[in-house]
Amino acid sequence: MLIPRVIVLSGYGLNCEEETKFAFELAGAKADIVHINDLAAEKSRLKKYQILSIPGGFSYGDDTGSGKAYANKLKNHLKAELDEFINQDRLVVGICNGFQILTNLGFLPGALLPNTSARYTNRWVDLKMAGESPWTQGIRTLSAPIAHGEGRYFADEKILASLKKNNSVAATYVKGEMCEYQDLPPNPNGALKNIAAITAKEGRILGMMPHPERAMFFTQLPHWQYFKEKMGREGVKLPQYATGLEIFKNGVRYFK
């Protein structure tokens, strides 16, 4: 049975690599955190992995726009190796800043623009999962936190039509449990068509703004204590895990 290996990129302001590594290893993979400079110095190293993960953060301080400088670093030093990787039967996931990097690389269509509020937004959202992707198999809904200032998905009509035709919209913001609990609007950033996540390459590349690695345990949910009391009175055991973990489990299952 294959235990997939995951390379989690780091460096220059990416700051969610430890949580992402933990998520993949909890899901059953073997993950390594690798600084982009170390990968550029040993390009063949990428061939050892089945999954490439670009985690969240604020690469290069978002000074030239979220994800642009890190994407240029990848283009200048690893473009051929990345092209080879995505054209094989392997998986890629970019979360938050990672999603922004993937769009700037051209691996995912569209762009992530500043939130319509013109403010950094940190809150929980509810998602309706859809599309045809190994990453989202069996997941109908997901609640997870966001933490971004440039998360508004934008694309022209041609790209939006293509996403719809190819079932490449992986998640949309909807009004669900978290929005009702916190009395918040479903769409936190003004994304077109409420788009929170998209895919490419037959669903093998996933980019999403919410953080599933911050929604893996039931006790990470903002209202878990309410359910602790409620379920305790009903004699129901408190779940250990939340739905965010399923994203990472799906990545592992793909190779098993």
Q: Is 185 exposed, middle or buried (0-12, 13-18, 19+ CB in 10 A)?
A: exposed
The answer on pLDDT for 173 being more than 90 is: yes
Residues identified as active-site: 96, 211, 213
Asked whether the beta carbons of 163 and 155 are under 8 A apart, the reply is: yes
The answer on pLDDT for 240 being more than 70 is: yes
User: In a 3-state reduction of DSSP, which class is residue 177?
Assistant: helix
Give the domain ranges of the chain. Answer: 5-215+246-253
Quote the mean pLDDT of the chain: 96
The answer on pLDDT for 142 being more than 80 is: yes
Phi (first) and psi of residue 189, to 5 degrees: -140, 0
- pLDDT (mean) for 67-92: 97
Asked whether the beta carbons of 51 and 27 are under 8 A apart, the reply is: no
User: In a 3-state reduction of DSSP, which class is residue 35?
Assistant: strand
pLDDT at 131: 81
Superfamily (CATH) of domain 5-215+246-253: Class I glutamine amidotransferase (GATase) domain (3.40.50.880)
pLDDT at 161: 97
pLDDT at 1: 64
pLDDT at 247: 98
C-alpha torsion angle, residues 226, 231, 232, 237 (rounded to 10): -120
pLDDT at 230: 92
pLDDT at 132: 87
- In tens, the pLDDT along 178-194 reads 998 889 999 999 999 99
pTM: 0.96
Nearest Cα to 128, choosing from 173, 86, 163? 173
User: What percent of the chain has pLDDT above 90?
Assistant: 94
User: In a 3-state reduction of DSSP, which class is residue 166?
Assistant: coil
Q: DSSP letter string over 179-243?
A: HHHHT--S-SS--GGGEEEEEETTTTEEEESS-GGGSSBGGGSTTHHHHHHHHHHTTPPPPSB-T
pLDDT at 109: 98
- pLDDT (mean) for 149-161: 98
- pLDDT (mean) for 250-254: 97
